[in-house]
Amino acid sequence: MWRLLWKNLLRNKRRTLLTGCSVAVSLFLLSSLAIVYAALGMPFRGADTTPRMMVRRLNGIVFMMPYSYAARIKAVPGVTAVTPMNYFGAYWQDPKNQFANFAMDADTVFEVMDVARIAPEQLAAFKRDRTAAVAGQRLVDRFHWKIGDRITLLGSMYGVTPELILVGTFTGGTDDQFYFRYDYLNELMNRFNLVNLYWIRLEKPALASQVSEAIDKTFRNTDAETKTESEGSFLLGFISMLGNVRGIILMIGAAVSFAILLIVANTMAMSIRERVGEAAVMRSLGFRSAHIVGLFVGESLMLTLGGALVGVGGAKILYDTLALSQIGQLVFADMRMRPETLLFCSALALLLALLAAGLPAYRAARINLAEALRYTG
């Protein structure tokens, strides 16, 4: 039976090759969409398991909080470190050179992001020099920066242009970000003393709920009430500000799935229609209808699953090799293919193969023998 399946599948090599390639490309696209969909629901953490949380204004991230909140947050039991975090939103030299850049407290940022590694002398320079800045190693590699370079940040919503000196690089954590000193930004803004976010590190993960409630209770009924949440919840909320991205991905994925179904169904319908007479001869020789259905459906499965092996397998190899951890600024996501995503794409390919050949195969196997023998396709 397997030899017969293979010979029938290669009867029209050009059609089989083109259909297989179409299925492979479509399933690669579908797998990519599935990877992004899954990643957007599970922000990236990598090997970093440090318990950290974000404190923002209750009515939205675009609204700011007083700088004085830092000391009161630090006093909450269970909080071991806190740093202000102002997203600056600038670029370097050209608007195409966008990257995540923040004004941070030089004394506390690496206490919160304790997974990062920076040379002690570079950290000391960051704390000492008012115009100092540090950058993640991936960002340094991207722009070919070196220690001592002067970096001017342009186009920020703050309306000021910090002129900075790169004094250090760090690895680990979010090592594609750029930090300069909050007190320098505060000086440029004429002591506005406002903060976008507070980034805090906890003593242990079990305290998250308790700390969150305590911080928000501290600032309840003030002019700037807060919402304290885990890093993961914060990033998911930031993603939701982009709109219903996951819904759009679902719609595109459904369209791609339907296209795969049409491709395979069209190929199998043509193949089966050409061989109705052959199926009738096989039945007259003693083959049962179930054998005929199995033969045609088997061809569909071999064709579709072959395309899935190339498309889905190629997507897994590519994304696992690239190990992407970021979709956009502030949107961190693990872009590797998870086992459940691989299983979903493979199962979908199997289902589409059955749907594409099921009805035409059943009709060819059940047609009247006399009529089938006269059938010319």
Q: What is the mean pLDDT of residues 116-126?
A: 96
* Residue 196 CA: distances (Å) to CA of 57, 324, 362: 8, 27, 64
| 35 or 101, higher pLDDT | 101
Write phi, then psi, for 363 (nearest 5 degrees): -65, -40
Q: Distance between CA 32 and CA 167 in Å, rounded?
A: 39
Question: 200: pLDDT confidence band, cut at 50, 70 and 90?
Answer: very high
Question: 237: pLDDT confidence band, cut at 50, 70 and 90?
Answer: low
Helix H or strand E encompassing 65? strand 65-66
State the pTM of this model. Answer: 0.65
Q: What is the pLDDT of residues 18-46, one digit of tens each?
A: 888 999 999 999 998 888 887 766 655 55
With a CB cutoff of 8 Å and minimum separation 6, the contacts of 367 are: 276, 279, 280, 375
103-112, 158-167, 255-264, 294-303: least confidently modelled range: 294-303
Instruction: Determine the pLDDT at residue 70.
Output: 95
Q: Which amino acid is at 88?
A: F
Instruction: Determine the pLDDT at residue 181.
Output: 97
Is 68 strand, coil or helix? coil
If you search the block for the tokens 């004085």, which residue do you land on? Answer: 68
Question: 305: pLDDT confidence band, cut at 50, 70 and 90?
Answer: confident
Q: What is the mean pLDDT of residues 164-192?
A: 93
Instruction: Determine the pLDDT at residue 373.
Output: 57
| 153 or 247, higher pLDDT | 153
If you search the block for the tokens 């004004």, which residue do you land on? Answer: 103
Beta strands, E only, 321-372:
326-328, 331-332
